[in-house]
Amino acid sequence: GLSTPARDYSIPGSNASKVFSTIGAAATLVFSYNTGMLPEIQATVKPPVIRNMEKALWFQFVIGGLPLYAVTFVGYWAYGSSTSTYLLNSVNGPIWVKSVANIAAFFQTVVALHIFASPMYEYLDTKYGRGEGSPFSFYNVSFRVVVRGGYLAVNTFVAAVLPFLGDFMSLTGALSTFPLTFVLANHMYLMVKKNKLSAPQKAWHWLNVVGFTCLAMAAAIAALRLIVVDSKTYHLFADL
């Protein structure tokens, strides 16, 4: 980044485009880095569950967040607004370093995909799998390989077909992550603790409910706009 030409830090597009892109990016971020699935793995945490979950959350948002912010800000400083969506495409240097970085990104994606696909795996295994017998029997292992492998193959194919898949991630974040993680959680807490909360506490949670509901609706509109605009710009299987 130090030896690159003069960098352009301006954000392209009209004012309306900037606003829609910013709101859509917020929905993409909460979809990618949300903790809504933590209750699903809560049963596997050793006691005391609440204390250990809080430790994990602090670690995630403090220690785990540092590399994300470092890459974001350093990458923007080094390459400006014209950088590739996939940052490694803009990086110069030894081929072996870029190869190692790409391999690491690939394995990280594989692990992350399996984690987020776990609820679908559970549904498929319960709905169509064979409950009896050893989980390592030939049938059960073959079933998991074929069904889960097919599910991953479909996901990979869709991601390759749609070069603007990030817009759909934004739409998913607006329609599911915002309501489930920020709206529903606050509303459930209000319903359970309504007689034990002070007026400022109730006001704070209702502010979250109303505020994130409005943000979810705005993000959904922004994501739909991005899908329409990008569908006119890119073709299927576009090499970005």
39 assigned to some structural domain: no
Domain, as residue range, for 235: 8-33+163-240
Question: Based on the domain organization, do 170 and 234 belong to the same domain?
Answer: yes
Token reading at 90: 């803009």
Question: Based on the domain organization, do 121 and 167 belong to the same domain?
Answer: no
- Rounded Cα–Cα distance for residues 151 and 158 (Å): 11
pLDDT, tens digit only, all 240 positions of the chain: 555 667 778 877 788 888 888 898 888 888 877 655 555 555 567 788 778 878 877 887 788 778 878 888 888 888 887 777 777 877 777 889 889 989 998 888 888 787 778 878 888 888 887 767 777 788 888 888 899 889 888 988 888 888 888 888 899 889 988 898 889 989 999 999 888 999 999 999 999 999 999 999 999 999 999 888 888 887 777 776
1 assigned to some structural domain: no
- The number of distinct structural domains making up the chain is 3
Token reading at 136: 């390592």
DSSP 8-state code for residue 162: -
Question: Based on the domain organization, do 183 and 229 belong to the same domain?
Answer: yes
Domain boundary (76, 92, 108) is at: 92
2 assigned to some structural domain: no
- Rounded Cα–Cα distance for residues 173 and 177 (Å): 5
- Rounded Cα–Cα distance for residues 64 and 162 (Å): 30
